[in-house]
């Protein structure tokens, strides 16, 4: 029996409490493409970077005609590209889409005058800030406490930071070792491994296997990587008589187990359906949830963090998480990171899994995006959770503020850290 004086007595107080806590509780953002300031230019921030976000690039081209070539866009300077996008999405049309609306949320929360619509004023307002100041300010506004990066040792600029410049020194940032090339572009991976001094060959020999394991282990240790991560095409099949299955079974899972870390798979991308859009040209596709099922069943002691890109896969994936405790469903990824999908997915996830899910990650590429991605998602997650408490309340079950905090903390932080088997850092 809860102490009567602690129970929240009215539905409206309960809703206010959930909303307030959902908006303000510190969060762990378990998948981003952000970096700490230690990584120099790899950390993107500021007005122009925000406007040339690839989500906005593809939206802008909806308004361009045949006269405006893709090449002409890519030939422009960043500032010119930003001007072009600003005109298309904010001046000539209203910024209704999630990503365009997000830019407005950012301006608003940074204290800029949204109604002026003066892009140069916004640029100037941020011009005198240092990267370190902006990182502190954005983490404060967004209440993001821990940021997981996406770390690829095959990227020469990034590798240099890890090998020669002391790596990440900011305790708010954490590494995740990204392994896409090893799984999805093996011939290229072999060349890279060889150039880094690993004795790997295109043929999957015993020696190659040992060397791939050595590469993974060394980088997990060097980065203190919290998990291994890959994004996979929708036609990923497992198990199969192919390179991916061998790589997973004989190198990646054994190394994850040796280091006691989860393996994150983000499944359902179809890369470059329009190559002219470059990074903005990727599409989603249906995936086969049975690949995840087989992984979870084959490796009951290996943890898998899974998100999928197609809306059509979401329900089945959530049901699968009821069957396997080593499966943690996370985030509303990429094209699903929009108001309506976050609401729909959060609802059925809570209905099927209670609070044993990681409802969101940001996938930010530009630092200030933390502000809008988290603000928009927190609001929806808070509303969905409140509606669940309301149903309980109507049956006489009252919650306390401490219990609301506990539940939100599970969703926003603890489910991730617990799944890792780690204490949540202070």
Give contact residues for Zn ion (rule: CB under 5 A). Answer: 363
CB nearer to Zn ion: pick between 54 and 209: 54
User: By CB under 6 A, is residue 363 in contact with ligand RAT?
Assistant: yes
CB proximity list for 156: less than 8 A, separation 6 or greater: none
For helices 78-86 and 119-127, the axis angle rounded to 10 degrees is 140
CB of 363 to ligand RAT, least distance (A): 4
Closest chain position to ligand RAT (CB): 231
CB of 277 to ligand RAT, least distance (A): 11
CB nearer to ligand RAT: pick between 231 and 356: 231
CB nearer to ligand RAT: pick between 54 and 398: 54
Judge whether 86 and 95 are in contact, CB under 8 Å.
no
Residue 204 has a CB neighbour count (10 Å cut-off) of 16
Judge whether 150 and 143 are in contact, CB under 8 Å.
no
Which one of 28, 192, 231, 377 is in contact with ligand RAT (CB under 6 A)? 231
**CA gap 151, 225 in Å, rounded:** 9
Interface with ligand RAT in residues 84-123 (CB under 6 A): none
Question: Can you point out the beta strands (E) in 248-406?
Answer: 263-270, 283-284, 304-308, 327-329
Which one of 334, 355, 400, 418 is in contact with ligand RAT (CB under 6 A)? 334
- Choose from ligand RAT, Zn ion, none: what does 334 bind? Cβ within 5-8 Å by kind: ligand RAT
CB of 191 to ligand RAT, least distance (A): 22
Interface with ligand RAT in residues 6-45 (CB under 6 A): 33
What is the pattern of x (binds ligand RAT, CB under 6 A) and - over residues 254-273? ------------x-------
What is the pattern of x (binds ligand RAT, CB under 6 A) and - over residues 276-315? ---x------------------------------------
CB of 338 to Zn ion, least distance (A): 16
CB nearer to ligand RAT: pick between 349 and 365: 365
CB of 364 to Zn ion, least distance (A): 9
**CA gap 206, 32 in Å, rounded:** 34
State how far the alpha carbon of 71 is from the alpha carbons of 48, 51, 147, 277, in Å. 19, 18, 34, 9
Task: Quote the DSSP letter at residue 62.
Answer: T
Phi, psi of 32 (to 5 degrees): -140, 175
CB of 228 to ligand RAT, least distance (A): 13
CB nearer to Zn ion: pick between 17 and 150: 150
CB nearer to ligand RAT: pick between 43 and 266: 266
Which one of 146, 246, 303, 365 is in contact with ligand RAT (CB under 6 A)? 365
CB proximity list for 114: less than 8 A, separation 6 or greater: 104, 107, 108
Complete DSSP assignment for 68-134: S-HHHHHHS-HHHHHHHHHIIIIISS---SHHHHHHHHHHHHTT--GGG--HHHHHHHHHT--HHHH
Interface with ligand RAT in residues 170-189 (CB under 6 A): none
CB nearer to Zn ion: pick between 23 and 285: 285
Closest chain position to Zn ion (CB): 363
Nearest-CA neighbor of 294 among 261, 323, 266?
Answer: 323
**CA gap 90, 127 in Å, rounded:** 21
CB of 309 to ligand RAT, least distance (A): 9
CB nearer to ligand RAT: pick between 265 and 350: 265
Within 186-313, residue ranges assigned H as helices are: 186-195, 206-223, 243-247, 253-259, 289-298
Plot region of 354 (φ>0 → left; ψ -120 to 50 → alpha; else → beta): left
CB nearer to ligand RAT: pick between 55 and 412: 55
Plot region of 40 (φ>0 → left; ψ -120 to 50 → alpha; else → beta): left
Judge whether 143 and 27 are in contact, CB under 8 Å.
yes
CB of 284 to Zn ion, least distance (A): 13
Binding site for ligand RAT (CB under 6 A): 33, 231, 266, 279, 334, 363, 365
């Amino acid at each position: 029996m809860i102490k009567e004086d602690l129970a929240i007595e009215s539905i409206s107080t309960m809703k206010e409490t959930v909303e307030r806590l959902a908006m303000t509780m510190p969060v762990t953002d378990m998948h981003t493409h952000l970096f700490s300031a230690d990584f120099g230019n790899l950390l993107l921030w500021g007005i122009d970077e925000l406007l040339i976000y690839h989500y906005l690039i593809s939206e802008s081209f909806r308004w361009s005609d045949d006269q405006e070539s893709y090449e002409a866009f890519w030939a422009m300077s960043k500032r010119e590209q930003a001007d072009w996008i600003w005109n298309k999405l904010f001046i000539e049309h209203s910024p209704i889409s999630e990503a365009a609306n997000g830019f407005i949320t950012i301006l608003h929360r940074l204290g800029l005058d949204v109604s002026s619509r003066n892009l140069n004023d916004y640029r100037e307002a941020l011009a005198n800030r240092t990267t370190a100041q902006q990182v502190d300010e954005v983490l404060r506004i967004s209440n993001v406490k821990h940021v997981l990066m996406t770390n690829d040792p095959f990227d020469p600029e990034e590798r240099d930071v890890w090998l020669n410049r002391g790596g990440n020194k900011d305790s708010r940032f954490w590494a995740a070792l990204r392994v896409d090339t090893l799984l999805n572009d093996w011939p290229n991976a072999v060349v890279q491994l060889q150039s880094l001094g690993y004795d790997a060959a295109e043929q999957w020999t015993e020696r190659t296997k040992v060397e791939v394991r050595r590469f993974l282990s060394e980088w997990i240790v060097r980065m203190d990587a919290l998990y291994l991560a890959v994004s996979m095409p929708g036609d990923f099949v497992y198990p199969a008589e192919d390179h991916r299955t061998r790589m997973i079974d004989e190198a990646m899972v054994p190394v994850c187990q040796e280091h006691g870390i989860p393996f994150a798979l983000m499944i359902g991308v179809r890369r470059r359906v329009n190559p002219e859009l470059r990074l903005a040209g990727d599409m989603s596709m249906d995936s086969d949830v049975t690949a995840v099922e087989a992984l979870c069943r084959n490796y009951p002691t290996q943890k898998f963090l899974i998100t999928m890109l197609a809306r059509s896969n979401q329900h089945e994936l959530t049901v699968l998480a009821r069957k396997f405790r080593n499966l943690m469903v996370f985030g509303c990824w990429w094209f699903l990171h929009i108001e309506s999908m976050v609401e729909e997915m959060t609802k059925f996830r809570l209905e099927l899994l209670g609070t044993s899910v990681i409802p969101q990650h940001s996938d930010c590429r530009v630092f200030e995006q933390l502000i809008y991605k988290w603000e928009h998602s927190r609001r929806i997650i808070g509303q969905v959770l409140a509606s669940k408490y309301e149903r309980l309340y109507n049956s006489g079950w009252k919650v306390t503020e401490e219990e609301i905090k506990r539940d939100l903390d599970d969703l926003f932080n603890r489910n991730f850290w617990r799944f890792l088997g780690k204490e949540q850092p202070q």
